[in-house]
């Protein structure tokens, strides 16, 4: 499979009846943002929510695009990083949007990575009992995952994404040129979510990634640009199809959490800090999910090792020893896993795999099995 050469943007539809929306993917799309927003919500005002790092690179271009379409816009910035997914930031952004006189017919533009998208989307779900919002994701992770599907949230001291709402955007504009300014570590972390889509349900896509990941990383205006946009589009199509079938995660959508039960616990153990980015935690969590599946006899060990080897090859953490600063003991990790949103009546749920491209939801996983597995992994040299 090779990536098709494209000059025009790629559009992926999230089919949710009268709440359907498009994900538009391509280079230079911020320039068209105002026209796209005005077509959806004529005469609306906009409040842009962004972080300090993204604002330096892209805020002026977004403001100019909105102004050119006659859209009056204000903005509010938050500090970059996971710490902004907090009750304090939620309050400050909400009050700023109310102070800007954003009304029910107006909208919020979430300009940034997953933190900004989750925070701004949650604010949009609550202010004036619900505002429309547009996602303009500027990281690979956000373009392929967090900007799509309407999951919005902030963190609790007890764990990640425990306070939030399902609230779908009306449009996602994924300008791949914004990835040119992304630090290599952030891009690599986002790639973990690309690999996740292949590993959970698309073995052919995983084989393509094994052969073409270097072009995906090269991207930019080079010959790798088509590979990058192809990988983003395939990932978005995979997520859009699952979301359309299971919007509120009552069944199949839980598959999108491959690696996340372990990963969120690792993030919490690292204090939601730059020690471990979300995508890095997902990569480590996927490696643990494949390793645990092999330990349980669900997947042949060589196939599990193939998946883990690819994540390691691109430079992502795949062992607990890859996480800087050390981790707490197994009981502390088990306590964090017990806070996972998929826990039901105290029983653990994991996304496990029978082969590459064949993930499934396993409810009622025995805590003793997980405890023994983590003990082995913590003790590994």
- Residues acting as catalytic residues: 129, 151, 193, 239, 249, 253, 257, 260, 264, 278
Answer yes or no: are the C-beta atoms of 299 and 250 closer than 8 Å: no
Strand runs labelled E in the chain: 10-14, 21-26, 46-51, 73-78, 107-112, 132-137, 151-156, 159-166, 171-175, 348-355, 358-365
* Sequence-separated (6 or more) residues with CB below 8 Å from residue 49: 75, 76, 77, 78, 93, 97, 108, 109, 110, 111, 112, 116, 119, 120, 123
Query: Rounded distance, CA 51 to CA 107, Å?
Result: 18
Q: Could you tell me which of 174, 190, 194, 172 has the C-alpha nearest to residue 182?
A: 190
CA angle 364–370–372, rounded 5-degree value: 140
Q: Could you tell me which of 239, 347, 353 has the C-alpha nearest to residue 287?
A: 353
Tokens at residue 361, please?
Answer: 């939801």
């Amino acid at each position: 499979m090779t990536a098709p050469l494209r000059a025009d943007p790629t559009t992926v539809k999230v089919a949710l009846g009268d709440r359907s929306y498009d994900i538009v993917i391509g280079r230079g799309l911020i320039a068209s943002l105002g026209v796209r927003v005005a077509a959806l919500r004529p005469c609306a005002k906009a409040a842009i929510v962004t972080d300090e790092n993204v604002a330096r690179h892209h805020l002026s271009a977004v403001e100019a695009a909105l102004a050119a379409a006659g859209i009056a816009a204000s903005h509010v910035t938050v500090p970059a990083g996971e710490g902004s997914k907090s009750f304090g930031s939620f309050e400050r952004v909400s009050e700023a949007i109310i102070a800007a006189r954003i009304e029910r017919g107006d909208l919020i533009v979430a300009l940034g990575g997953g933190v900004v998208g989750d925070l701004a989307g949650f604010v949009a779900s609550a202010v004036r009992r619900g505002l429309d919002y547009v996602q303009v994701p500027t990281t690979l992770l956000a373009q392929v995952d967090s900007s799509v599907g309407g999951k919005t949230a902030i963190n609790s001291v007890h764990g990640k994404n425990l306070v939030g709402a399902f609230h779908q955007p009306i449009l996602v504009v994924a300008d791949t040129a914004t990835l040119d300014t992304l630090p290599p570590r952030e891009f690599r972390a986002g790639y973990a979510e690309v690999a996740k889509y292949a590993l959970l349900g698309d073995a052919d896509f995983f084989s393509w990634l094994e052969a073409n990941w270097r072009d995906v990383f090269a991207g930019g205006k080079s010959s790798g640009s088509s590979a990058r946009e192809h990988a983003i589009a395939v990932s978005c199509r995979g997520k859009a199809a699952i979301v359309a079938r299971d919007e509120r995660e009552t069944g199949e959508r839980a598959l999108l959490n491959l690696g996340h039960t372990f990963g969120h616990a690792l993030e919490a153990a690292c204090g939601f800090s730059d020690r471990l980015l979300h995508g890095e935690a997902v990569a480590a969590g996927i490696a643990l999910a494949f390793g645990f599946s092999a330990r349980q006899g669900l997947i042949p060990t060589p196939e599990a090792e193939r998946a883990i080897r690819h994540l390691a090859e691109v430079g992502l953490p795949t062992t607990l020893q890859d996480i800087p600063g050390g981790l707490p003991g197994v009981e502390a990790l088990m306590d964090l896993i017990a806070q996972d949103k998929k826990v039901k009546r105290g029983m653990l749920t994991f996304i496990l795999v029978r082969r590459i491209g064949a993930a499934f939801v396993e409810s009622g996983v025995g805590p003793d099995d997980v405890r023994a597995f983590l003990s082995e992994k913590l003790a590994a040299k």
